[in-house]
Amino acid sequence: MANTITVDENKWMTQSGVTVLAIDGKAIGDTTLYTVPTGYQLVVDRVILTPTTVAGFAIAPVVSVGKTGAAYVDVVLGTTLTGLSSTGLSTALSPIAASSVLSAGEALVLRVSTGATATTYALSATVIGTLINA
C-alpha cells in the first residue's frame, strides 16, 4: 500500500533571517549586515532588499554584498536595483557561483557603489542563510 502525504496549501514554511533597516541607498558606503558568531560559518542563500522610503526617484542604486573590501563582490556582484523605484517592492539577490563562506568574526557587508538619484532612498536588507558549526 502506498503512503499518502496530505499538504495543507494554506500553510507556508517560514525562513528566518537577519534584517538591517534604514540603509541609505543614495550614499556611497558600506553597511554591515551580519557578523558571524564564534564557532560558526555562514553560507548566504540570498539577500532580500526592500525600499522603505523613496521620494523623487530617478535612477536606482548599484549594490554588492561580500566580506572582502573594498568592493565587497565575493558573495553578490554589483547589481543595479532596477525596478525598485517605490516602496512595496523587493528583490532577492542570489550569491555568485563559488561565493565566499564567512567564518567566525567575519562581517557580511552591503556596499552601495553608486548611489540612487532621488530625494530620499532608504532600503532594508534581510540576509537568509545557513549557519554551520565550524
We report the CATH number of the domain holding residue 94 as 2.60.120
Asked whether residue 63 is domain-assigned, the answer is yes
Domain that residue 108 falls in:
18-133
Asked whether residue 9 is domain-assigned, the answer is no
CB 12: neighbour CB atoms within 10 A? 7
Asked whether residue 103 is domain-assigned, the answer is yes
Band of pLDDT at residue 17, cut at 50, 70 and 90 = confident
pTM for the full predicted model: 0.88
**pLDDT at position 134, please?**
83
Asked whether residue 3 is domain-assigned, the answer is no
Band of pLDDT at residue 116, cut at 50, 70 and 90 = very high
Number of domains in the chain: 1
